[in-house]
Structure 1
Amino acid sequence: MRGRVYGSDHDDPAPGPKPGRTYAELVGGPLDGLLLDITGWTAAEIRTGAGLPTDIGRYGPGGRALYKPRAGACDRWDWEGDAR
């Protein structure tokens, strides 16, 4: 798996996935293409999805991008909209 991990610093020399970690690819929305580290998440937490803080969504600073796992493909999470 390649790509930049959500939450990594823009100047991080190695912003990609780390061995031994579990990632979901974010699909659509402001965080499209980033990888979310879900290592250690419970099945219930994964089913719930996540509201990820981002400054580049509809609500700017303080906003969140909402993502949920795709049915049958827990390694791909689809954007469901933005929230405050």
Structure 2
Amino acid sequence: MDEVEFMRGRVYGADHDDPGPRAGRVYAHLVGGPLDGLLLDVTDLTEGERGRGVSLATALGRYGAGGRSAYGPRPGDPRRFDWRGDMP
């Protein structure tokens, strides 16, 4: 199994021993970039916070350890957050 296949369906930030989604939570699919295929738990974000998008820590992006990847909601489909780029 390659890294991409391993990460699909996993929740960003979840424990490796319990990587799947939980009942009663709301998730957005991360599309593109280094976190492509992961789910992001957006349950506790307000509508305004969801609209602004998120900056997620990841060592998989352009800047390696300590870097972040920006994702924002897809127009017309807030269940998908598209990759906007990487930042240090």
What TM-score comes out, normalization by structure 1 length? 0.92
- Which residue in 1 is equivalent to 2:9? 3
- Which residue in 2 is equivalent to 1:57? 61
Whole-angstrom distance in 2 between the partners of 1:51 and 1:63: 10
What TM-score comes out, normalization by structure 2 length? 0.88
CA deviation after TM superposition for structure 1 residue 9, in Å: 2.8
Return 5+ residue gaps in structure 2 as ranges: 1-7
- Please give the root-mean-square deviation of Cα atoms over the aligned residues, in Å: 1.1
Q: How does 1:1-84 map to 2 (within 5 A)?
A: 3-10=9-16, 12=17, 14-84=18-88
Structure 1 outlier segments of 4+, above 2 Å:
none
* CA displacement 1:34-78 (0-9 Å, x = unmatched): 000001210110001001000010000110010000001111000
Greater per-residue strand proportion = 1
Identity of aligned residues (%): 62
Greater per-residue helix proportion = 2
Equivalent residue pairs, number:
81
